[in-house]
Chain A
Amino acid sequence: MEEGYTSLPTSHLLGSVPAAVAEEKAKGAASESSSANLQIFPPANGGYQAPGSPYGGDDQATSSWKGVCSISSYTPYFNVDTDIVVGRLISSVYPMNDFTGKIDGNPDLYGPIWISTTLVFMLAALGNCATYLMHKRNEPDIAWAFDVTYVNWAACIIYGYALAVPVAFYFLLRYFGCNASLIRLWCMWGYSLFIFVPSSLLLIAPVEIFRWIIIILAGAASSWFVALNLKSYTEGSDLMVLIVSALLLQIVLALFIKIFFFA
């Protein structure tokens, strides 16, 4: 039945659809052969897809959208192996590497989700550790209690930041005419939070000066990472204001982490 569409004698009409349909059919056929075909269970190849195969750009990803509630419409964003994720994590710590090039073909959401979850847990746990140590140092007689609201605060702040800031920048970049991809922005901001995980381990030490040095270094590295990638992302246009504001936001987050959790 589908072969009939390309032979419709309407291509001479203005604004006719057949060319797009033919193109979509080719793309659809390509993705059918190697994607999770819902008619065949289990999917071909054990559901495994080599990274870098058909799900290349944004247009490929949207053509496999099967609705909000279907798992298979989100699987393209989790198409990464362990070594790929580790490579991206390492390149997020050294701001000089070209992170944007790494994620261009295959932005993943696995990193942002689990990095933010790890950070929430670490901030809640180590924040309590840090208050315990300070408490034991300064007021050893009074009983210390585990403050479970740290979990709530950490979750709200980290998840809110990692979700809302890329969305805001997506809309701002679109407004200024830049061609932005929300998934890549989410991916980049998520990986930029990774450096706070080891630095929160170091922040337990009850020495105030040491804590400030650590958080300033971590905040600087993270915001430099964000600014550098945002700049390479918006190559053509001159949007220094946006880049500087992203940098400042990241520094504010770093300071907030220090002040709220490791006071």
Chain B
Amino acid sequence: MSHGDTIPLHPSSQSDIDEIENLINAGPATVLPAHPPSPQRASIPVSSSPFIPSNLPPPPPSAPAAAFQKAPTSTPPSVPAAESSRRGIAADGFGSPPNTLTEPVWDTVRRDLSRIVSNLKLVVFPNPFREDPGKALRDWDLWGPFFFIVFLGLTLSWSASVKKSEVFAVAFAVLAAGAIILTLNVLLLGGHIIFFQSLSLLGYCLFPLDLGALICMLKDNVIIKIIVVSITLAWSSWAAYPFMSAAVNPKRKALALYPVFLMYISVGFLIIAID
């Protein structure tokens, strides 16, 4: 179908078109997952396509009231069956998606928490994946960074004696806007980085500073604060260094890393100075 065009295609477009044609012709059973299947994200079952034979019994037009009452009870058992019939064209294509909408809340929370813990272990603690930044944070999420930023803002706000809400606002704004600006900085310098993966990474690297802020809140001595903040600052910078430096050209490494250090140093200073 591409041969009938008069405009010659870009060489990479032809390979894309071939790939899509293979997908359509070969069927979804041969689709390989783009990356190792992670704990399934919550997915809303797609239920509106008219071409899929649905196992839901069509509501009889003569008794709409009865069907209306019957539908809520019959939907949960028939949804898994409908989903298994729609297996091939499910949105993520990794096999039948589990029923994440109807699972107990505790299961969802536990799954998200385990993801946060595993990401934390990959980013902040020494592990063999740090040399390959792309692989390390494959399964990024934004819950962890959100918790860490809010926790840091709350701790700083709690430690402050005056203008508590302004302290929280400044801390939250600096960290959130700072993560976005740092990612944009890497992209503008010509680096390769995935936007949300980088946001996630910078959020996870705040974990040591969270610990430092907690310790500083409990102990009020200036010398101890300086020591604790210096150690956690060095830890945070060490955690963020391989990911940021691998993303840009080596001649611009310092240009990409300096803003990261600036942001962490400014947060560290905020932790020391608030009393």
* Residues in chain A within 8 A of chain B (CB atoms): 1, 36, 39-40, 42-43, 46-49, 71, 74-75, 77-83, 85, 110, 114, 117-118, 121, 125, 128, 143, 145-149, 151-152
Bound together, the chains give a CA A42 to CA B190 distance in angstroms of: 10
Do residues B163 and A47 form an inter-chain contact, with CB atoms below 8 A? no
Do residues B189 and A110 form an inter-chain contact, with CB atoms below 8 A? yes
Do residues A117 and B262 form an inter-chain contact, with CB atoms below 8 A? yes
Bound together, the chains give a CA A7 to CA B10 distance in angstroms of: 23
Do residues B262 and A71 form an inter-chain contact, with CB atoms below 8 A? no
Give the residue name and chain of the A residue nearest to B256 (CB).
Answer: A82
Is B167 in the interface zone, CB < 8 Å from A? yes
Do residues A146 and B273 form an inter-chain contact, with CB atoms below 8 A? yes
Do residues B13 and A48 form an inter-chain contact, with CB atoms below 8 A? no
Bound together, the chains give a CA A79 to CA B188 distance in angstroms of: 8
Besides the contacts A49-B190, A146-B273, what 7 more A-B pairs have beta carbons closer than 8 Å?
A46-B249, A47-B190, A71-B184, A75-B190, A121-B266, A121-B269, A145-B162
Residues in chain A near residue B12, CB distance under 8 A: 39-40
**Which one of A49, A81, A83, A121 contacts B262 once the chains associate, using CB atoms below 8 Å?**
A121
Is B166 in the interface zone, CB < 8 Å from A? yes
Give the residue name and chain of the A residue nearest to B275 (CB).
Answer: A146
Bound together, the chains give a CA A151 to CA B273 distance in angstroms of: 13
Residues in chain A near residue B56, CB distance under 8 A: none
Residues in chain B near residue A145, CB distance under 8 A: 160-163, 275
Residues in chain A near residue B3, CB distance under 8 A: none
Residues in chain B near residue A39, CB distance under 8 A: 10, 12-13
CB distance from B271 to the nearest CB of A (A): 11
**Residues 156-181 of B contacting A (Cβ, < 8 Å):** 160-163, 166-167, 170, 174
**Which one of B184, B191, B269 contacts A47 once the chains associate, using CB atoms below 8 Å?**
B191
Interface centre among A1, A49, A110 (most CB of B within 10 A): A110
CB distance from A58 to the nearest CB of B (A): 19
